[in-house]
Amino acid sequence: MPAAAQRPVQFAATAPAGSDLVLPLRNADHLGHAAAVLDDGSREAVRRALASADFDFERGSTLSLRGIGPWARILVMGMGQPPFEPKVLQDLGGTIAQETKGSREPVAVLLQTIPSAGPQAGLHVATGAMLGGYSFDRYKSADPKRPAGAEAPLVILGSDAATAQRYQREGAALAEGTNFARDLIREPANVLYPEVFVERTRQAFAGVRGASIEVLDVPAMERLGMGAILSVGKGSARPPRMLIVRYRGTGNNPLVGLAGKGITFDSGGISLKPGSGMWAMKGDMAGAAAVVGTVLSLAKSQAPVNVIGVAALAENMPSGSASRPGDVVRAYNGKTIEILNTDAEGRLVLADAVAYLERQFRPAAIVDIATLTGAVSTALGDEYAGLFSRHEGLAAQLSAAGTATGEELWRLPLHPNYAKDMKSDIADLQNVVEGGAPGAGFGAHFIGEFVASTPWAHLDIASVDNRSSALPTVPEGLSGFGVRLLDRFVRDFRPGASNPSLTAGN
């Protein structure tokens, strides 16, 4: 059952009968490029409507016109000034999908009216439409007037065959990876717990060339000594899992390791959270969802990369078998942890995930991604995720991927003295610094204690995982942040970019 009703994207030479026609424009003169689909009279009618509406052609402004030519309506979309980078074109596609969500007509998009967007424009517009048109309707009763699966298509006009193929290979895979992550995040925690996350991932990867999946259950994690993730999961009736998804493309590329926090519900455990807003903690597996979504995107597009993703899955619940504040556990790498607060559980599951990634697979770099701290939202609001790394080259590559994709990162510090702050009286480390700031930095530092020598970075996405308002390619609510960023990062990854300051691990 699809989780969402969404217009399928198609590429064609001509518009279906009775379509809405979308005309992106940066000025009225470029209407001339629409001659193939709009006759002289229709173009003149559009020109007059634009003039009388005083249309400003700013990016994001729209004008809806009815009664011109054979079209159900003509939707003019302001483009602002070039350059029309991929992100701008994705935003155009997303805005079109959102603006036409309610209508039942097919939608035809003309791209000849923005000639400076280049021949690949259709790829990005189509990708943006699949991202921005996402919705999660699984638990809404069907509208009898709009049967599921009967959505009219969004048709990109006039792209060449190579662009259409590239969309099928790359754009569709990126949207599928992102929307797969969004589905996982939006599923309620009574439906999606660690074993179901694993099952959904197996289904998504079934038959994908170059991809493989491995799962560690509780006995396997016990044998390996993963006392940190086990301590988080043991209060729940739903057992934890360590899920490893691997994709190896053609070529001899350096291995990139990704680790995601996968708390399918975070009640706080015995250090119970307040009730208000606790429901949003069904999305506390957004990091793990971003990791499997990224690997899915790369694998489905058969990208020439080598990547391994670990999803550290557990449900954090209070019960008679739950961990208590003050408990001491031993992580996979042998370090002992005093759990002062059971609500700082993300860093615990990630401690085992990153240590396992490093020892077992020896990647050239490790990036973890997690809805780790409320503190990062206080610092950054909802436009930036927090980036922590002691490796300049890795930080620069992640920042560049963020800028290119619009999933932006802001670097925050990791002072060496955090190590002293996080020393425990009775164990090697404690999981929180009580009453201590900076909360996001301490969380980051803690995870870094479990990576011995591999270049490592931590992304705290608790600031961006839940949007209060939509962006063109991100519907309101739980966002699926990180798939586009990490997909770009892995494709562009270069190992060994120097880091003179990194001499004593992370």
Note whether 284 binds Zn ion by CB under 5 A.
yes
Residue 346 interacting with Zn ion (CB under 5 A): yes
> Which of Zn ion, Mn ion, ligand BES, none sits in contact with 479, Cβ below 5 to 8 A by type?
none
Q: Which of residues 323-362 bind Mn ion (CB under 5 A)?
A: 343
- Which residue type sits at 102? G
Nearer to Mn ion, 343 or 408 (CB): 343
Selection from 352, 344, 41, 92 nearest residue 220 by Cα: 352
Active site includes 347? yes
For the CB of residue 397, give the shortest distance to ligand BES in the complex, in Å. Answer: 25
Query: Smallest distance, Å, CB 314 to Mn ion?
Result: 11
Pick the closer one to Zn ion by CB: 99 or 284: 284
Distance of closest approach, residue 345 Cβ to Zn ion, in angstroms: 6
**Of ligand BES, Mn ion, Zn ion, none, which one sits near residue 441, judging by CB under 5 to 8 A according to partner kind?**
none
Residues in contact with ligand BES by the rule CB under 6 A: 266, 284, 341, 343-346, 371, 373-375, 432, 439, 462
DSSP character for 154? E
Which of ligand BES, Zn ion, Mn ion, none interacts with 159 (beta carbon under 5 to 8 A by kind)? none
- In the numeric block, which tokens belong to residue 316? 């954090």
Q: What is the 3-state secondary structure (H, E, C) of 269-308?
A: CCCCCCCCCHHHHHHCCHHHHHHHHHHHHHHHCCCCCEEE
Partner from ligand BES, Mn ion, Zn ion, none binding residue 487, C-beta < 5-8 Å depending on class: none
Which range in 190-198, 259-267, 349-357, 399-407 contacts Mn ion by CB under 5 A? Answer: 259-267
Q: Take residue 278 and report the two structure tokens written for it.
A: 């606790």
Q: How far is the CB of 378 from ligand BES (least distance, A)?
A: 9
Q: Is the preceding peptide bond at 83 cis, omega within 30 degrees of 0?
A: yes
Q: How many CB atoms lie within 10 A of CB 277?
A: 9
The span from the CA of 333 to the CA of 358, in Å, is 10
Give the nearer residue to Zn ion in terms of CB position, either 37 or 349: 349
How far is the C-alpha of 492 from the C-alpha of 356, rounded, in Å?
24
Closer CB to Zn ion, 127 or 271, in the complex:
271
Of the candidate spans 25-33, 97-105, 206-214, 264-272, the one that interacts with Zn ion by CB under 5 A turns out to be: 264-272
Min CB(421)–ligand BES separation in Å: 12
Of 138, 273, 330, 411, the active-site residue reads 273
User: Which region, left, alpha or beta, applies to residue 17 given φ > 0 means left and ψ of -120 to 50 means alpha?
Assistant: beta
- Do β-strands 306-316 and 255-266 pair in parallel, antiparallel, or remain unpaired? parallel
- Can residue 266 be called a binding residue for Mn ion (CB under 5 A)? yes
Which among ligand BES, Mn ion, Zn ion, none contacts residue 440 (Cβ within 5 to 8 A by kind)?
A: none
- Taking CB under 5 A as the binding criterion, the range among 192-200, 257-265, 290-298, 477-485 that sits at the site for Zn ion is 257-265
Region of 406 on the Ramachandran plot (φ > 0 left; ψ -120 to 50 alpha; else beta): left
Task: Please state, in angstroms and rounded to a whole number, the distance separating the CA atoms of residues 331 and 353.
Answer: 10
DSSP letter, residue 353: H
Identify residue 156 by its one-letter amino acid code.
I
Query: Which one of the listed residues 26, 234, 238, 347 is annotated catalytic?
Result: 347
- H/E run at residue 396: helix 392-405
Give the interface segment with Zn ion, choosing from 8-16, 339-347, 485-493, 495-503 (CB under 5 A).
339-347
Q: Which of 35, 134, 240, 203 has its CA nearest to residue 484? A: 134
Q: Which is nearer to ligand BES, 84 or 481 (CB)?
A: 481
* 330, 338 Cβ separation under 8 angstroms: no
Smallest gap from residue 248 Cβ to ligand BES (A): 32
Task: Note whether 266 binds Zn ion by CB under 5 A.
Answer: yes
Q: Does 145 qualify as catalytic in the annotation? A: no
| Distinct helix (H) and strand (E) counts, the chain | 15, 19
Minimum distance between the CB of residue 417 and ligand BES, rounded to whole angstroms?
A: 18
Which neighbouring-strand residues pair with 410? Answer: 386
Task: Report the C-alpha gap between 24 and 13 in whole angstroms.
Answer: 17
Which one, of 305, 296, 487, 448, lies nearest residue 368 by Cα? 448
Size of the site for Mn ion (CB under 5 A): 2
Whether 220 contacts 176, CB under 8 Å: no
**Is the CB of residue 228 less than 8 Å from the CB of residue 446?**
no
Minimum distance of ligand BES from residue 284's CB (angstroms)? 5
Nearer to Mn ion among residue 20 and residue 343 (C-beta): 343
Active-site annotation, residues: 273, 347
Q: Using CB under 5 A as the criterion, which residues of the chain lie in contact with Zn ion when the complex forms?
A: 263, 266, 284, 346
Q: Using CB under 5 A as the criterion, which residues of the chain lie in contact with Mn ion when the complex forms?
A: 266, 343
